[in-house]
Amino acid sequence: MSECIKLTQGTGPTALHYEIIPVGNDWLILLTGGDAHIGCTAIGDDGRLCSYTPQSHKDDALAIPLAKKISQTFSCICTVVAGFHLDGITRAEIAVVVANADMGMVRILKVIGEKIDQKK
């Protein structure tokens, strides 16, 4: 089985947890936080995208940008399965989650880039 890279971005109830798994030249990422669940699956294919979000979920805001950016940057297929839920989340907490997602993306791009460089 491929190595699973685990990262956490942020702290407390707004933290995002990532499990990043190389699958050949492609990537599978599980993104969770709060009460973990499956709220969106997004597949990026060299910048093209398809996704599924169950009714009443908003996890596509986390999954889609990550899948698209990784697939564009590394010319690969990237599947992101995301689920974050925090009861009674405030606007301020939503802003922190969004910031954590942005910073998490930067960290993941760096980690994947390093893994690809190690293969060369």
Please list the residues that pair with 80 across neighbouring strands. 29, 42
Q: pTM of the predicted model, to two decimals? A: 0.94
> How confident is the chain (120 residues) per 10-residue block, as mean pLDDT?
88 98 96 96 93 94 96 96 96 97 98 91
Closest-CA residue to 54 (of 19, 13, 85): 85
Domains and CATH numbers, the chain: 5-119 (3.30.230.100)
Give the model's pLDDT for residue 47.
74
- Residue 16 near residue 31, CB atoms below 8 Å: yes
Structure tokens at 25: 């030249």
Give the model's pLDDT for residue 2.
66
